[in-house]
Amino acid sequence: MNATAPPPPTAARVPVWADPKYLIVFLITLVLVAGEARYSILGGYDRLATTLGICIATEVLLSWWLRGRVANIASAYITGISLALLIKPQANILWPFALGAFLAIGSKYVLTYRGRHLWNPSNFAIALLVLVAADQVAILSHQWGNDLRINLVIWAFGLAVASRARVLHVTLTYVGCFIGLAALRNAIVGGPLLAELAPITGPMYQLFVLFMVTDPRTTVSTRRGRIIVVAIVALVETVIRLAGDFQLALLRPLYPSPPLLALALVGPVAMWWDLFRQGRKR
């Protein structure tokens, strides 16, 4: 997750409180505080300290060393919190947080094309951990208990911030696609429709929909392109989910987190294609 939003359309100076970057910082802090206060979602403050500390330190160090200036740490802050929330390893081990944090920020400086990073940092780190460290790492499977209020508050703030950050179309496209494809999956595999719709009511999806898939730095340059890409992400997610329903062993490593891994597969390809096309136009 990356806080850096596209520049506002006018030259008018935006107050700090209304800057989408800081609104996203506020929103993810709200998720953290609400989740921890009510449901102890972190599983230990050492996890937060580790990810946040290493994300920020890596960002400061690499930006200074490679680019000659210290980057704004808002992006690292958001990445750190989202990793602390989403990584759920075996008890009492901290290395997934430490290495995940370094790899997330490091990916911004290593996995680049034409000066832009291809993966959303936290998406890259989580996908990598889930795929190559499945013996010790899972992702967030908590929910907000049965408290609809917290769910609604976070969705309301999230949609407002997405609107302010001018990525609401991405969020709504994904949600629309998810619902439509849930109905399709239900038609194919049968069973209760609510079981197919259920995932989107949980916090993992909130983090995914409100922060990760909308990351301005890792979405393509046009509005139409972003809508198409996020629809493809939802489609790939559905393919993974159907493979899960039909017990396709080959894709078993992808089952625990279909949306995150769908984004990890689709996002960088779309970014690369977008940057490639921009380069050719120039």
Contacts with another protein, residue ranges (CB under 8 A): 39-40, 43, 62, 65-66, 88-93, 95-96, 99, 102-103, 106-107, 109-110, 128-130, 132-138, 140-148, 151, 191-192, 194-196, 198-199, 201-205, 241, 244-245, 247, 252-253, 255-256
The least distance separating another protein from the CB of residue 102, rounded to whole angstroms, comes to 5
The least distance separating another protein from the CB of residue 90, rounded to whole angstroms, comes to 4
Of 210 and 227, which CB lies nearer to another protein in the complex structure?
210
226 residue type, one letter: R
Of 109 and 157, which CB lies nearer to another protein in the complex structure?
109
The least distance separating another protein from the CB of residue 20, rounded to whole angstroms, comes to 27
Q: Residue 221 CB: number of other CB atoms within 10 A?
A: 12
Of 6 and 253, which CB lies nearer to another protein in the complex structure?
253
Give Cβ neighbours of residue 76 (< 8 Å, ≥ 6 apart).
Answer: 55, 56, 58, 59, 60, 105
How many C-alpha atoms does 16 have within 13 Å on its Cβ side?
3
The least distance separating another protein from the CB of residue 119, rounded to whole angstroms, comes to 12
Of 62 and 266, which CB lies nearer to another protein in the complex structure?
62
The least distance separating another protein from the CB of residue 245, rounded to whole angstroms, comes to 7
Of 226 and 241, which CB lies nearer to another protein in the complex structure?
241
The least distance separating another protein from the CB of residue 13, rounded to whole angstroms, comes to 33
Of 22 and 39, which CB lies nearer to another protein in the complex structure?
39
User: How far, CA to CA in Å, does 108 sit from each of 58, 237, 249, 259, 277?
Assistant: 11, 24, 32, 21, 21
What are residue 167's phi and psi, to 5 degrees? -125, 20
User: How far, CA to CA in Å, does 164 sit from each of 148, 151, 187?
Assistant: 24, 20, 36
End-to-end CA separation in angstroms for the chain: 29
